[in-house]
A = this chain, B = another copy of it.
Amino acid sequence: MQAENDSAADPRREAILAAAAELFFSHGFAATSIDAIIERSGGSKRTIYALFGSKQGLCEALIRENSERIFGSERLDDPTLSLEESLLRFARELLRLFLRPDTAGMYRLVVAEALRVPALAESYMRIGPGRARAWLAGRLERARDELGEIDATRAANQFLGLVRSDVYYETVLGLRDPLSEAEVDTMAADAVRVFLHGVRRG
């Protein structure tokens, strides 16, 4: 009936979410005031409470919709590619994605609120990283002839860890500058190489 695209359906809503994203992601939940959000988005507090119910509700909506927006862009389906090429593209995409400031910012936010609002962490995982992992596990499953009898889920977990390595850790803690494209390529290639050799021989 009315669902539409969910984006740009209501410009006021979008403006508020955009302002909230900027502030929540860079300052955290507690340190961001409703007034600061309004000051940046225009409009009135009344609107925020009409649309989201509370500050917490706004935060939840933000995380839910931004997970969609950030992680929804993965275009992973390409059945013609070799396993190696497939993993390579996936790794590069993943690194670029994870190292974007808004992705890291959202992760910080989810981590900080994880214990207070468990459902939020769950939906973040389901909409975001979990989707990538599910795709990866499926792709590895389909490569049994090349990889032998492996536990696809466990292998997917390992691959994700290998790609993130310690770099994501440092990025989240704000200890590292963004990677250059060349570094992304090198890291992705290294991860794929170690993974494929390691798993094939394992």
Copies in the complex: 2
Determine how close the nearest CB of chain B comes to the CB of A174; give it in whole angstroms.
5
A111 lies within 8 A of B114 (CB) = no
Verify if A194 is at the interface (C-beta below 8 Å from B). yes
The residue that A160 contacts in the complex, of B160, B166, B173, with Cβ under 8 A, is: B166
Verify if A79 is at the interface (C-beta below 8 Å from B). no
Binds B, one of A24-32, A48-56, A80-88: A24-32
Mark contacts of A183-202 with chain B using CB atoms, 8 A cut-off: 1 yes-contact digit, 0 otherwise: 00000001101111111111
Determine how close the nearest CB of chain B comes to the CB of A98; give it in whole angstroms.
11
| Residues of chain B lying within 8 A (CB to CB) of residue A129 | 166, 169
A153's closest neighbor in chain B, by CB?
B166
A168's closest neighbor in chain B, by CB?
B161
A161's closest neighbor in chain B, by CB?
B165
| Residues 22-67 of A at the B interface (beta carbon under 8 Å) | 26-31
The main secondary structure of chain A at its interface with chain B is helix
The residue that A162 contacts in the complex, of B121, B158, B173, with Cβ under 8 A, is: B158
CA distance A162 to B158 in the complex (A): 5
Verify if A179 is at the interface (C-beta below 8 Å from B). no
A191 lies within 8 A of B114 (CB) = no
Query: Which residue, A27, A125, A166, A202, has most C-beta atoms of chain B within 10 A?
Result: A166
Since A107-B111, A108-B114, A121-B174 are in contact, a sample of 12 more A-B pairs with Cβ atoms closer than 8 Å, ordered by chain A residue number, is: A26-B115, A28-B115, A29-B30, A129-B169, A133-B166, A156-B166, A158-B165, A161-B163, A161-B166, A162-B162, A198-B198, A198-B201
